[in-house]
């Protein structure tokens, strides 16, 4: 009975799945079944379900082989998309983003170090409004992207925006979404011990008091604490101590989670109004979206207005105009500052003892100056901090930068496209496209004066920068679509596309401080104001052609070719790419031989070439010019250009199988690919005695191969219930086949004075992470030296590799009557990251993670120092009369050099402090701060309720859905300690391979209302 | 059918009109922020600009090169006997090496551009080539002094030629470098005489003066730089080794004919670079080089304080300690005692804040008149030249050095300058120093080293290695596995071993910190 009813309902469902139409390269719509290559598609509903700040973050775990990584920081932070692993060793790995057939500005956002850029920047794709998107397709393989030539090797993301096409008459949509961001997944601090040096280096007063420190303040002597970021001091005991606010406080931890005082709760609002109209003359859609965020960072704000106007107008039966205008206005006050001064710099490392809220409130004095403990050089000595605080950078470099420096960004972007098409004959269409992507950014920096000019130092700065980025794109394309015979059909198109990109940037700034306090104008410059500019120009064009033949609607064969020209290649030397692909619907061809539940079966194969062009101006051989003291000078390039540089070329073979079963209630797709990218552009290091440090050359080869699985289905469905499941996972194996001539190793980065290096080796995946590590004996036991610490390797050894091995996601949708529960998780297996804040903070002893053996309650052993001299090795047992006893002894697991089990005791605080330190030098090592960054994360959960149609019709309302949702609510599994698995920023793999103090990650809760009239 | 044909034709026309020509693409290939057009004057300025970090007293040079290595090895700065006190980071000394090859690359490019000029253009541009060559030789000798054999005759060509063979230059022996510089500086002087005699001399000097940061277009000063540098090199090799005869002959030649070989004779003629608060400026940052890290980098050495006993220069070279005395760090004191004195903050004297660290007009000294005077004293003392008196030259050197240091002190606005002593006072001090030792070489060499002091640590290190004076005590560091004793040369940067291995291998056996230079005592 139950089975019977199920079948009845499914018969009328999903019957259209077979003829699914998808957008392919150059905006050409094709039937899914005709494609000889893999394509992944996500539709509008999945993008806006949980109010994701941009479309890319809505793609997490939804497409096989497409890995998303969003930088922390919310709406203004860049998102990287990696399709099928990394195809370029040093070049861009970001896909081309195409909006309604036109490539748009995206770009990367990578910082090299704290000093060069202290804020987390954006990239172009995050500007695109998720509310306006109809669908997103990702073209992955070389055959799918051949017609994009040397922009296609990292895949292509095709975005199609909503139109009024489907609507009859006037339709109105209104959506509102409210959410709150809570800082989450940040380090947790121990609340057992306060500040102080390790027991072995305490002075006499500290020894006698268990670690306290004596201070004189305003002529009186107090018990207090040392100003140190090490937390090996006395146990919190509630006794009276002099705190740095100048008061006597009870000695207890202020907070185990001081990050809640560094940041605040963020609040986001999004409102969208869409109006559509359609009739026989055409259709149009207007949409306005307003986004307002209160970021988690203090003293910052974000507002965005997005206007979208798209439509189509049919002049007559032959002539048609499609148009699309998108205008985006953003006001950004203070993009997120990196927290690296607090996590990667000893003088900024606070702990549970620090009253972060008090410090935040006392960073700026009542006169508006930077506060400090210096009482002589201030007009407000009463407000000064009582004594030097250990985390001094928290005030001087973090809170001051946030609270007293303003970066005001005014960002305007216009994307406009006009697409005329002329249906010349039946089956023959000529289409043109002209578009612009125009961005202007005005940025003002106002850094307050730090102290009164009375003291003769000029501080503060004013800077104004303006930039303009223009992309002008045009293409023409002739399409011929004809059934040649009853069974043989041809679809062919050929055309030309061209694009210019022009960028201008100029900046003027005061120099040497502000001559008048807080006068934010160039006129206030103490020294001659500084000015700088840059400009870049890019031109690309190409001819392309594709011919697809189909036989009986079940066998398809396609050829594509592209001839490319680019200004990044010397003398515009043309380059050629081509591909072939085929698909075969065996279920149609052998219909009668197959069971009826086998609804759809297709195999496909493709082979193609595509490329990645050199970075702008990377290859040019030229001279630098500058002027100094009135002399004009030229110097040679230290890293030499190479006028013979070519794009990196990728060759890819792809095979796939697509199936649908049981009246399309189960779908399975499998894809195998194998590619090789040759002519990798690398900087070949030179001996300086040659006169240059490096030369850019085409030399390396990189290969990727992998398997992608996608599974979707509706395992359970009744009148009231419906369960939809979808899952995907992708294996990717990356191998470096060749590097520089005569060298099997390429250094990407050396970190912390060479303590860690990131290298690529021939025969291995890119991005091996090397560091010094404990020496082990033949059976893998670590070897302990006479000092009780691990003996270390004399060379760096491989500890991990930065490339993830498997990525994927799983989604479920559970519907009951008008209720729907959606759930998405995504996962990653493998891919190491270096967690430097963990290394440093463990060495401070301030984390809950560094409590083992710190006292008897945590497994510490009892010992004393002979003569109370902390330079002696600890002696197990009680000290006896006049000798202090400690309870933080530990014996490292391992063997001594003679092979016997280690029994040498060391102090736990010394162990943490010495082994988790900065730089190279026995016994410090970093291998215990390099983690496999595997995780399984619940990305989003949404519960929605759709009001009954019957009720709504009374209000002339077609649809009304209310939902509550959460993003990033929790991890099912996470291997990386103290941070979110995605706490890195930057859009290239190298930036993403080390956690280095980006900004806070968050957990979001929100609700939304969607109405259609 | 005709319709289709005409449409296809139209499409073809549209396509061909739309497409970009090769010249459109070529036009945008070049970075608008760079140029492919360079000239000799601008490459000469580029040569100077590239070497400014080791010509001026830059923060970077003081911290990495002087403080971490050379000023210790020459004891022109006090340092504590901590573990690893003689170790010197590859990345620090490698930077000095790299900087020379950057200078050389600019010079090679200038040479290449010059060689392609017409003969008449060559005569107009020759001065740029010669001035850049003198500057490059100055830096070459500093590098050869520290490392011995270094790549030179085939080095620095890659940017100019883009020829793969130039990526791995061969090493020139230490001897051949000094030998070729000695003979070529003579030729440079002769060529400069020729330039001065040119009928276009006013055109040449007006062009030169606008690009010459060092001598502002004064060709006579360039000749003085050239000959004084040659005298320096000749003095270095004259005492021992295969070039002794050539060195002595050059000294004799230079001192015998001051008209042909003018030297830097007065402080007004000193070859130097002056901070000018503009592009070549280091005026505002070197204070940090000496005074940050709570004043750790500016302590006096006992050797310098001793050498300055009874010498009025001590008042402008060092600040008194907290008790009003001049106390330098004594290398014979054990580390624990040193470090507690050091931590007290006011036990050891520091370099004079007014003369040095807070003096925004502190010049970067290239060659001083005092240095030349001491070379003359050395030459007469050892009878390498005749026609002069060693003691008189020595006293002249003391006068010039005293005038020089008080002169720098007077440039400072940090506090009221100290009045310079009278010539009679200085002469008396000089007389006493001369008479205090029987071996006059010790008096001359100690004063030469003292005059270089902390402003020219690299020269001070060369001088003390060559002469053995003053006798400096360096306690052995047994904690170090690599550098137990004070180095007498530097190791080659690791980039040479990695990327120029075939040529490096020829010298890998002497690539340590202990192989003496052929000219060293």
Q: How many CA atoms lie within 13 A of A540 on its CB side?
A: 24
| Sheet with A96-99: strands ordered across | A39-43, A133-139, A156-161, A96-99, A102-103
Q: Does B239 touch chain A (CB under 8 A)?
A: no
B228, two tokens: 């004084």
Average model confidence (pLDDT) across chain A = 91
Distance CA B218, CA B227 (A): 15
The DSSP line for A62-92 is TSTTEEEEEPSSGGGS-EEEEESS---SSS-
> Is the pLDDT at B277 greater than 80, yes or no?
no
Q: How far apart are CA A236 and CA A234, in angstroms?
A: 6
Best mutation target, A499, A613, A614, A688, to test chain B (most B CBs within 10 A): A688
Confidence class for position A271, pLDDT limits 50, 70, 90: very high
pLDDT at B89: 84
- How far is residue A611's CA from residue A466's CA, in Å, rounded to a whole number? 33
Split at pLDDT 50, 70, 90, the class of A295 is very high
| pLDDT tens track for B206-228 | 999 999 999 999 999 999 999 99
* Domain chopping of chain A, boundaries: 199-265+337-405, 833-932
What mean pLDDT do residues A670-680 have?
A: 95
Quick count: other Cβ atoms within 10 Å of Cβ B89? 12
Hey, which bits of B156-254 come out as E strands? 171-172
What H or E segment, with its residue span, contains residue B202? helix B201-209
Of the ranges A662-676, A798-812, A975-989, which one carries the lowest mean pLDDT score? A975-989
A686 vs B210: CB contact, 8 Å cut-off?
no
Alpha helices (H) along B56-199:
59-60, 71-73, 90-115, 119-147, 158-161, 174-196
Interface mutation vs chain A, best among B8, B12, B49, most A CBs within 10 Å: B49
pLDDT of residue B20: 66
Q: In this predicted structure, what is the pLDDT of residue B200?
A: 93
- Tell me, rounded to whole angstroms, the distance of Cα A934 from its chain centroid: 16
- pLDDT band of residue B515 (cuts 50, 70, 90) is very high
User: Does A538 contact chain B (CB < 8 Å)?
Assistant: yes
Taking alpha carbons only, the member of A416, A502, A435, A437 closest to residue A467 is A502
Residue B14: band (very low, low, confident or very high) from pLDDT cuts 50, 70, 90: low
The mean of the pLDDT values for chain B is 91
- Every domain of chain B with CATH number 1.25.40.390 lies at 38-66+86-263+483-521
Is any Cβ of chain B less than 8 angstroms from the Cβ of A203? no
Please say if the pLDDT value at position A998 is more than 50: yes
Q: How confident is the model at residue A389 (pLDDT cuts 50, 70, 90)?
A: very high
* Distance of alpha carbon A228 from alpha carbon A224, whole angstroms: 12
Pairwise CA distance, residues A315 & B344, whole Å:
90
pLDDT at A13: 34
The pLDDT value recorded for residue A375 is 86
Q: Which two tokens stand for residue A434?
A: 């002209």
Neighbours of A168 (CB within 10 A): 11
CA B33 to chain A, closest CA, distance in angstroms equals 7
CB contact under 8 A, B30 and A621: no
Asked whether the predicted pLDDT for residue A100 surpasses 80, the reply is: yes
Q: How close is the nearest chain B Cα to the Cα of A486, in Å?
A: 21
Q: How many residue pairs from chains A and B have C-beta atoms closer than 8 A?
A: 208
Instruction: Compute the nearest-CA separation of B361 from chain A (Å).
Output: 15
Largest CA distance in chain B: 115
Share of chain A above pLDDT 70, in %: 97
> What confidence score (pLDDT) does residue A952 get?
87
- B270 pLDDT band, cuts 50/70/90, is very high
User: Which of A:617-636 have CB within 8 Å of B?
Assistant: 617, 620-636
3-state class (DSSP) for residue A287: strand
Report which secondary-structure segment, H or E, holds B449.
helix B440-452
Would you say residue A747 has pLDDT above 60? yes
pLDDT on residue B153: 97
pLDDT digits (tens, 9 = 90+) for A309-354: 999 999 988 999 999 999 999 999 999 998 988 999 899 999 999 9
Write out pLDDT tens, residues A247-267.
Answer: 999 999 999 999 999 999 999
Interface probe for B, chosen from A689, A694, A795 (most Cβ of B below 10 Å), is A689
Give the residue, B357 or A299, on which the prediction is more confident.
A299
Is the CB of residue A694 less than 8 Å away from at least one CB of chain B? no
The string of DSSP letters for A948-1012 reads PHHHHHTTT-SEEEEEEEEEEEEEEEE-SSSS-TT----SSTTGGGEE------EEEEEEEEEEE
* CB contact A368 to B (< 8 Å): no
- Chain B, window 378-437: residues with a beta carbon less than 8 angstroms from a chain A beta carbon: none
Q: Which pLDDT belongs to residue A116?
A: 58
Compare CB distances from B46 to A430, A570, A634 and report the shortest one's residue: A634
Q: Which residue has the higher pLDDT, A92 or A604?
A: A604
Chain A residue nearest residue B9, CA to CA: A478
Whether omega before A923 lies within 30 degrees of 0, making that bond cis, reads yes
- Average pLDDT value for residue range B392-398: 98
pLDDT category of residue A7 using cuts at 50, 70 and 90: very low
B289-336 pLDDT per residue, tens: 666 654 567 889 999 999 999 999 999 999 999 899 999 999 999 887
Among A566, A685, A689, the residue with its CB nearest the CB of B101 is A689
- Interface contact B128, partner A, CB < 8 A: no
Q: What is the mean pLDDT of residues A709-726?
A: 94
Residues A685, B499: C-beta atoms closer than 8 Å: yes
The per-residue pLDDT for B19 is: 62
Amino acid A281: pLDDT: 85
Tens digit of pLDDT for each residue in A166-204?
677 889 999 999 999 999 999 999 999 999 999 988 888
Distances (CA, A) of A868 to A196, A214, A884, B362: 17, 20, 7, 51
Q: Of the candidates A564, A620, A470, A580, which has an alpha carbon nearest to the alpha carbon of residue A151?
A: A564
Beta bridge partners of A580: A559, A607
Q: Give the pLDDT confidence score for residue B482 in this predicted structure.
A: 77
- pLDDT category at B7 given cuts 50, 70, 90 is low
Residue B297 exposure: Cα atoms within 13 Å on the Cβ side: 24
The residue count of chain B comes to: 521
Confidence of residue B1 (pLDDT cuts 50, 70, 90): low
Does the distance separating the beta carbons of A498 and B160 come in below 8 Å?
no
DSSP letters, B293-339, are: HHHTT-BPBHHHHHHTTT-TTHHHHB---TTS---PBPTTS-HHHHH
Indicate yes or no: CB of A688 within 8 angstroms of CB of B101.
yes
Measure B42 CA to nearest chain A CA, in Å. 4
User: Is the Cβ pair B158, A686 closer than 8 Å?
Assistant: yes
Q: Supply the angle between the helices B201-209 and B174-196 in degrees, to the nearest 10.
A: 120
| Percent residues over pLDDT 70 in chain B | 93
pLDDT over 90 (residue B465): yes
Q: How far apart are CA A183 and CA A180, in angstroms?
A: 10
Q: How far apart are CA B504 and CA B496, in angstroms?
A: 6
Cβ within 8 Å, pair B156-A690? yes
Q: What is the pLDDT of residue B443?
A: 97
Q: Domain B38-66+86-263+483-521 falls in which CATH fold?
A: 1.25.40
- Does residue B196 have a pLDDT over 60? yes
Contacts of A375 (CB under 8 A, 6+ apart): A381, A384
- Name the pTM for this structure: 0.86
Q: Is the pLDDT of residue A938 over 70?
A: yes
Using a CB–CB cutoff of 8 Å, tell me whether A685 touches chain B. Answer: yes
Are A535 and B33 an interchain contact pair (Cβ–Cβ within 8 Å)? yes
What is the tens place of the pLDDT at every residue in A368-377?
999 998 888 8
Higher pLDDT, B224 or A131: B224
Strands A96-99 and A156-161, sheet pairing: parallel
Q: Do A620 and B45 touch (CB under 8 A)?
A: no
Query: Where is average pLDDT lowest: A628-632, A755-759, A929-933, B1-5?
Result: B1-5
Count Cβ neighbours within 10 Å for each residue of A612-644 and write b for 16 or more, e otherwise.
bbbebbbbbbbbbbeebbebbbbbbbbebbbee
Q: Is A428 on the interface with B (CB under 8 A)?
A: yes
B-chain residues near A693 (CB < 8 A): 98
Higher-confidence residue: A669 or A618? A669
What is the enclosing helix (H) or strand (E) of A47? Answer: helix A44-48
Q: Strand (E) positions, A295-364?
A: 301-314, 319-333
Band (pLDDT 50/70/90 cuts) for residue A12 is: very low
Range from A69-78, A211-220, B14-23 carrying the lowest mean pLDDT: B14-23
| pLDDT of B401 higher than 80 | yes
> Token digits for B517?
């230079």
Supply φ then ψ for residue A554, to 5 degrees: -135, -20
- Residues of B within 8 A of A478 (CB-CB) are 8, 11
pLDDT at residue A190, rounded to an integer: 97
Phi then psi for B516, rounded to 5 degrees? -70, 150
Q: Which of B8, B28, B90, B274 to mutate to test the interface with A (most CBs of A within 10 A)?
A: B28
Backbone angles phi, psi at A10, to 5 degrees: -65, -25
Interchain CB distance below 8 Å, B15 and A496: yes
Interface of B with A in 481-500 (CB under 8 A): 493, 495-496, 498-500
Chain B positions in Cβ-Cβ contact with residue A495 (cut-off 8 Å): 15
Contacts of A757 in chain B (CB under 8 A): none
Does position A604 have pLDDT exceeding 60, yes or no?
Answer: yes
Residue A837 near residue A997, CB atoms below 8 Å: yes
Q: Which residues from chain A sit within 8 angstroms of residue B499, using beta carbons?
A: 685-687
pLDDT band at B283 (very low <50, low <70, confident <90, very high): low
B470 upstream amide cis, omega within 30 of 0: yes
pLDDT confidence of residue A903: 95
Q: What percent of chain A has pLDDT over 90?
A: 74
- Interface pTM, i.e. ipTM: 0.91
Reading phi first (left if > 0) and then psi (alpha if -120 to 50, else beta), residue A282 is in left
Do A626 and B101 lie within an 8 Å CB cutoff?
Answer: no
Which stretch of DSSP H or E encloses residue A580? strand A575-585
Write the CA distances from A648 to A215, A673, A746, integer angstroms.
Answer: 65, 19, 17
Q: Which of the 8 DSSP states describes residue A165?
A: T
């Amino acid at each position: 009975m139950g089975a019977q009813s199920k079948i009845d309902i499914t018969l009328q469902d999903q019957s259209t799945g077979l003829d699914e139409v998808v957008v392919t390269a150059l905006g050409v719509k094709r039937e899914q079944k005709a494609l000889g290559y893999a394509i992944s598609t996500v539709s509008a509903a999945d993008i806006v379900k949980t109010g994701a700040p941009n479309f890319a973050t809505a793609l997490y775990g939804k497409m096989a082989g497409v890995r998303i990584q969003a930088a922390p920081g919310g709406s203004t932070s860049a998102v990287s998309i990696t399709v099928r692993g990394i195809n370029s060793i040093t070049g861009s790995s970001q896909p081309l983003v195409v909006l309604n057939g036109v490539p748009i500005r995206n770009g990367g956002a990578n910082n090299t170090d704290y000093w060069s850029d202290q804020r987390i920047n954006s990239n172009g794709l995050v500007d695109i409004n998720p509310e306006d998107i109809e669908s997103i397709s990702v073209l992955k393989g070389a055959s799918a992207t051949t017609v994009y030539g040397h922009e296609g090797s990292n895949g292509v993301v095709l975005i199609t925006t909503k139109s009024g096409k489907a609507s009859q008459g006037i339709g109105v949509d209104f959506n509102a979404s409210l959410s709150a961001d809570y800082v989450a997944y940040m380090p947790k601090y121990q609340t057992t011990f306060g500040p102080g040096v390790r027991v072995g280096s305490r002075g006499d007063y500290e020894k006698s008091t268990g670690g306290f420190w004596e201070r004189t303040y305003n002529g009186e002597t107090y018990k207090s604490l040392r100003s140190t970021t090490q937390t090996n001091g006395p146990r919190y005991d509630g006794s009276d101590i002099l705190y740095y606010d100048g008061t006597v406080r009870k000695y207890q931890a202020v907070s185990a989670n001081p990050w809640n005082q560094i940041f605040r709760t963020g609040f986001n609002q999004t409102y969208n109004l869409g109006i559509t109209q359609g009739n026989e003359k055409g259709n149009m859609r207007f949409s306005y979206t307003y986004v307002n965020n209160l970021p988690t960072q203090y003293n910052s704000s974000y507002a965005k207005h997005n206007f979208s106007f798209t439509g189509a107008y049919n002049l007559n039966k032959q002539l048609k105009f499609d148009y699309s205008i998108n205008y985006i206005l953003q006001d950004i006050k203070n993009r997120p500052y990196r927290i690296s001064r607090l996590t990667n710099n000893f003088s900024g490392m606070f702990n549970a003892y620090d009253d972060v809220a008090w410090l935040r409130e006392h960073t700026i004095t009542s006169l508006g100056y930077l506060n400090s403990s210096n009482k002589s050089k201030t007009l407000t000595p009463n407000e000064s901090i009582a004594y030097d605080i250990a985390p001094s950078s928290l005030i001087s470099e973090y809170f001051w930068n946030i609270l007293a420096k303003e970066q005001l960004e005014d960002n305007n972007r216009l994307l406009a496209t006009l697409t005329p098409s002329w249906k010349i004959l039946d089956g023959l269409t000529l289409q043109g496209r002209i578009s612009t992507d125009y961005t202007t950014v005005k940025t003002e920096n106002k850094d307050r004066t730090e102290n009164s000019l009375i003291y003769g130092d000029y501080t503060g700065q004013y800077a104004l920068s303006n930039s303009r980025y223009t992309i002008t794109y045009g293409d023409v394309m002739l399409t011929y679509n004809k059934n040649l015979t009853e069974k043989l059909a041809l679809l062919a198109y050929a055309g030309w596309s061209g694009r210019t990109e022009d960028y201008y940037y100029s900046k003027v700034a005061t120099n040497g401080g502000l001559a008048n306090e807080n006068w934010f104008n160039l006129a206030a410059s103490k020294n001659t104001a500084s000015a700088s500019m840059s400009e870049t120009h890019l031109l690309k064009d190409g001819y392309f052609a594709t011919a697809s033949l189909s036989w009986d609607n079940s066998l398809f064969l396609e050829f594509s070719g592209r001839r490319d020209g680019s200004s990044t290649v010397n003398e515009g030397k043309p380059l050629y790419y081509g591909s072939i692909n085929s698909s075969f619907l065996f279920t149609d061809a052998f219909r009668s031989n197959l069971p009826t539940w086998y609804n759809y079966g297709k195999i496909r194969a493709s082979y193609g070439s595509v490329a990645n062009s050199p970075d702008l101006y990377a290859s040019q051989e030229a001279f630098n010019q500058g002027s100094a003291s009135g002399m004009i000078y030229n110097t040679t390039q230290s890293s030499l250009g190479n006028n013979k540089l070519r794009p990196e070329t990728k060759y890819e073979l792809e095979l796939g199988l697509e199936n649908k079963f049981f009246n399309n209630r189960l779908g399975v797709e499998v894809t195998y690919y194998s590619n090789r990218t040759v002519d990798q552009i690398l900087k070949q290091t030179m001996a300086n005695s040659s006169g240059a440090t490096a030369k850019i050359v085409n030399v390396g080869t990189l290969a990727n191969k992998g398997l992608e699985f996608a599974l979707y289905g509706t395992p359970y469905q009744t009148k009231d219930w419906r369960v939809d499941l979808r899952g995907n996972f992708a294996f990717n194996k990356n191998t470096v086949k060749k590097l520089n001539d005569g060298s099997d190793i390429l250094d990407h980065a050396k970190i912390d004075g060479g303590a860690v290096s990131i290298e690529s080796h021939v025969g291995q995946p890119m991005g091996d992470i090397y560091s010094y590590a404990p020496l082990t004996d033949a059976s893998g036991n670590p070897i302990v030296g006479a000092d009780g610490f691990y003996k270390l390797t004399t060379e760096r050894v491989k500890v991990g590799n930065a490339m993830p091995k498997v990525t994927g996601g799983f989604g479920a949708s559970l519907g009951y009557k008008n209720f729907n529960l959606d759930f998405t998780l995504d996962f990653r297996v493998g891919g190491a990251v270096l967690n430097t804040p963990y290394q440093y903070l463990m060495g401070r002893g301030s984390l809950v993670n560094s409590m083992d053996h710190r006292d008897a309650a945590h497994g510490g052993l009892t010992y004393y120092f002979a003569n109370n001299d902390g330079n002696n090795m600890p002696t197990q047992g009680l000290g006896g009369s006049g000798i202090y006893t400690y309870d933080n002894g530990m014996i490292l697991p391992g063997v001594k050099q003679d092979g016997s089990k280690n029994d040498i005791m060391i102090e736990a605080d010394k162990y943490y402090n010495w082994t988790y330190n900065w730089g190279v030098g026995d016994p410090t090592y970093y291998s215990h701060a390099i983690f496999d960054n595997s995780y399984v994360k619940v990305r989003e959960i949404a519960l929605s309720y759709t009001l009954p149609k019957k009720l709504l019709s009374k209000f002339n309302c077609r649809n009304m859905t209310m939902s509550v949702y959460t993003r990033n609510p929790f991890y099912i599994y996470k291997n990386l300690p103290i941070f979110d698995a995605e706490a890195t920023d930057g859009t290239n793999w190298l930036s993403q391979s080390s956690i280095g103090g980006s900004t806070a990650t968050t957990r979001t809760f929100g609700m939304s209302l969607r109405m259609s009239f | 059918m005709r319709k289709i044909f005409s449409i296809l034709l139209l499409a073809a026309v549209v396509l061909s009109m739309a497409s970009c020509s090769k010249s459109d693409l070529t036009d945008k290939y070049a970075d608008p922020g760079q140029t492919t057009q360079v000239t000799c004057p601008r490459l000469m300025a580029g040569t100077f600009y590239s070497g400014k970090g080791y010509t001026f007293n830059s923060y970077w040079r003081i911290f990495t090169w002087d403080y971490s290595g050379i000023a210790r090895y020459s004891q022109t700065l006090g340092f504590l006997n901590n573990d690893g006190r003689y170790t010197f980071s590859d990345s620090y000394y490698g930077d000095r090496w790299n900087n020379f090859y950057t200078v050389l690359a600019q010079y090679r490019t200038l040479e290449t551009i010059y060689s392609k000029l017409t003969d008449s253009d060559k005569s107009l541009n020759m001065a740029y080539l010669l001035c850049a060559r003198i500057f490059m030789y100055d830096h070459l000798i500093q590098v050869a002094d520290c490392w011995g054999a270094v790549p030179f005759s085939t080095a620095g060509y890659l940017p100019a030629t883009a020829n793969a063979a130039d990526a791995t230059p061969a090493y020139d022996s230490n001897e051949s470098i000094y030998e070729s510089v000695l003979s070529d500086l003579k030729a440079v002087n002769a060529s400069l005489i020729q330039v001065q005699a040119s009928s276009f001399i006013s055109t040449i000097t007006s062009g030169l003066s606008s690009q010459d940061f060092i001598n502002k277009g004064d060709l006579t000063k360039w000749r003085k730089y050239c000959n004084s540098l040659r005298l320096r090199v000749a003095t270095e090799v004259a005492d021992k080794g295969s070039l002794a005869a050539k060195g002595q002959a050059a000294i004799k030649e230079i001192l015998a004919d001051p008209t042909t070989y003018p030297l830097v004779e007065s402080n007004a003629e000193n070859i130097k670079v002056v901070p000018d608060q503009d592009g070549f400026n280091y005026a505002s940052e070197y204070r940090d080089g000496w005074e940050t890290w709570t004043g750790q980098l500016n302590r006096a050495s006992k050797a310098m304080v001793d050498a300055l006993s009874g010498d009025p220069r001590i008042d402008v070279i060092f600040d008194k300690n907290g008790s009003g005395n001049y106390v330098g760090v004594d290398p014979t004191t054990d580390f624990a005692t040193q470090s507690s004195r050091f931590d007290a903050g006011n036990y050891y004297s520091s370099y004079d804040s007014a003369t040095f660290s807070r003096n925004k007009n502190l010049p970067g000294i290239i060659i001083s008149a005092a240095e030349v005077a001491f070379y003359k004293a050395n030459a007469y003392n050892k009878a390498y030249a005749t026609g002069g008196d060693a003691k008189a030259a020595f006293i002249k050197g003391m006068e010039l050095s005293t005038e020089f240091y008080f002169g720098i002190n007077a440039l400072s606005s940090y506090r009221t300058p100290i009045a310079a002593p009278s010539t009679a006072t200085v002469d008396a001090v000089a007389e006493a120093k001369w008479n205090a030792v029987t071996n006059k070489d010790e008096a001359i060499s100690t004063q030469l080293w003292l005059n270089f002091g902390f402003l020219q640590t690299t020269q001070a290190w060369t001088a003390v290695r060559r002469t053995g004076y003053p006798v400096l005590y360096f306690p052995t560091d047994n904690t170090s596995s690599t550098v137990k004793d004070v180095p007498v040369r530097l190791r080659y940067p690791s980039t040479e071993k990695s990327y120029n291995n075939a040529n490096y291998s020829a010298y890998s056996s002497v690539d340590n910190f202990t192989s003496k230079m052929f000219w060293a005592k």
